[in-house]
Amino acid sequence: MLVIVNPDAAGAETLRSAVDPDAQILSSVDLARGHLADHPEVDVAVIGAAVELEPALALADAMRVARPDLGVILVRRRVDTVVLTEALRAGMREVVAERDLPSLGDAVRRARGIARAMRNQGAASATTDEFRPLGRVITVFSAKGGCGKTTVATNLAAAIADNGRRQVCLLDLDLAFGDVAIALQLFPAHTIADAVPIADTLDATAIEALLTPHSPGLTTLVAPVEPGAADIPTPVVATILHLLREMFEYVVVDTPPAFTDHVLAAFDESDVFALLATLDIPALKNLKLTLETLDLLNYPRDKWRIILNRSDSKVGLAMGEVEKTLRVPISAEVPSSRDVPASINRGVPIVLESPNHSVSSAIKQFAERHVISAPLTSSIPKPLRDDRRGGLLRRKAKHT
């Protein structure tokens, strides 16, 4: 069920026509409090633009404790950073502009989906005492740009999700030049940068409000769309990663081509390191340096998985020579194809568009063998997890 809180009758009717003709209209926040207390079946409350901000925030703040499954959506005549920050801090599921009725409908559908999932999870936990394990994190990394990290990351995430069989979040940690949103042709209302103003109160509800869905089972948290918004503290990234592990079965992380503190935070949380290279000397040299650096930082080798992208390129390098040079086996060979950039231009991962394509088969086999069916690997030594202030140079000093 859905309720609309709005003292403006005409405005309330407009909202009702956009989201649910059976929605009940309540003219005040006080009436809404009583109604929600008496009707636990209500899963979404839309607060109209005619409601003052303070009582709207107070209602959301109270509901996040009393009714965590209830999605509270705030409608404003104008959405700015101040309103968005205050709303997310109070536990609003989303904030939507008054005239953007299609986005309001999408927000209501997402909130209802979250409410159903939370209730199902609550019912399951009531019948079992089993501990729900954290989701698995797979970080896709290459120290050289142009190797196809984003292509592999987006397709790997879609392959794991398998049209809704599993719940997967794709996190774009290339904060300055991330391409996940463009590769999937997403138009995000929020990005990871929106987590910074509410860093002190980040929880699963706040993270949910920042996510952008793509396809059944696949959700994204995209990089900032504005260049000046890329300065995100590393502890915020670490918190987001841990929350995503609690919320999703799998988290796939796309990264920049550098050992930044954000990348190290992702490695600290990762169960699988999908390390990418192509069949050219610079890429293989950088991959070898990557492996040596991971060794230096004491990351367990049983987490390393080498993916050779465009592996059928005729460049005079044999696969056996590559493995001998790296001293690590190749876990996946992804062939080259002109169909891949064409699928990117259409915003549909090739594993979804052409499931039987040779590229799709290679990525799905990697997902099944090294992510879905693989046993849990060893954990990161505790001292490395705790030492974040010094960055990479300080970590090197600890092991030299």
As a whole number of Å, the end-to-end CA separation of the chain is 61
4 Cβ contact list (under 8 Å, min separation 6): 12, 15, 16, 19, 23, 24, 25, 26, 45, 46, 48
Q: Please state at what angle helix 149-161 crosses helix 358-367, rounded to 10 degrees.
A: 70
Q: Give the mean pLDDT of 15-23.
A: 90
Q: Give the mean pLDDT of 25-29.
A: 93
Residue with tokens 């997402």: 110
Residue type, 165: R
According to the model, what pLDDT value does residue 123 have? Answer: 53
Q: pLDDT > 90: what percent of the chain?
A: 48
pLDDT at 386 over 60: no
According to the model, what pLDDT value does residue 110 have? Answer: 83
Q: Give the mean pLDDT of 225-236.
A: 80
User: 2-126 and 136-398 share one CATH topology?
Assistant: yes
According to the model, what pLDDT value does residue 138 have? Answer: 97
Q: Give the mean pLDDT of 226-237.
A: 81
According to the model, what pLDDT value does residue 248 have? Answer: 93
Find the DSSP H helices in 297-369.
319-326, 339-346, 350-353, 358-367
**pLDDT tens track for 152-210:** 999 999 999 998 889 999 999 999 888 999 999 988 888 999 898 888 888 888 898 89
Considering the chain, what is the average pLDDT of its residues? 85
pTM of structure: 0.69
More confident residue, 242 or 399: 242
According to the model, what pLDDT value does residue 318 have? Answer: 67
According to the model, what pLDDT value does residue 400 have? Answer: 40
According to the model, what pLDDT value does residue 390 have? Answer: 40
2-126 folds as Rossmann fold (3.40.50)
**pLDDT tens track for 317-328:** 667 777 777 888
pLDDT at 94 over 90: no
Q: Where are the domains of the chain?
A: 2-126, 136-398
136-398 folds as Rossmann fold (3.40.50)
More confident residue, 9 or 392: 9
Spatial CA neighbour of 308 closest among 292, 294, 321? 321
Spatial CA neighbour of 225 closest among 194, 260, 262, 256? 194
According to the model, what pLDDT value does residue 380 have? Answer: 41
According to the model, what pLDDT value does residue 350 have? Answer: 94
Q: Give the mean pLDDT of 272-290.
A: 90
The confidence band for 120, taking pLDDT boundaries of 50, 70 and 90, is low
